[in-house]
Structure 1
């Protein structure tokens, strides 16, 4: 079994890049799944788009998210 980077082939590297792009997109306030699919098609071009586009809408907290003290947050 060849575990070197050459063993992945172009498809494995492209798929890995799409997963990295999904995480990067989520950190910038974008939809993880949508960007993963787009990255499968566009690859490095999608990476460039994620990096140069401004952040998406900021979400304060998800409903039911825990605060630092471990208490559930109450809607205000």
Structure 2
């Protein structure tokens, strides 16, 4: 039985899981690069943790905290 194809096949699948984990991390408000690297080193374990853990809280954008955008003060005062 010839298993010379096994190394490249497993490597391609491992890299595919890492790319998918990076993309999925963005939908959960997490860093895609960090989760890609974690999945490259830890493999499906990191991908499993990404799926199981709850999404991170979104970071407030600077435009929502702009001066003069308070709802209780009309503009121009």
Cα RMSD for the two superposed structures = 2.4
Question: Shift of residue 60 of structure 1?
Answer: 5.8
Moved over 6 A (4+): none
SS, match of residue 30 in structure 2:
coil
- Please give the alpha-carbon distance, in whole angstroms, between the structure 2 residues aligned to 1:59 and 1:27: 13
* 1:1-76 matches, cutoff 5 A: 8-59=8-59, 75=66, 76=69
Spell out, residue by residue over 1:47-76, the C-alpha distance to the aligned partner (whole angstroms, 9 max, x if none).
Answer: 110011111121466x79xxxxxxxxxx54
Gaps of 5+ in 1: 1-5, 65-74
- The structure whose Rg is larger is 2
Task: State the number of aligned residues.
Answer: 61
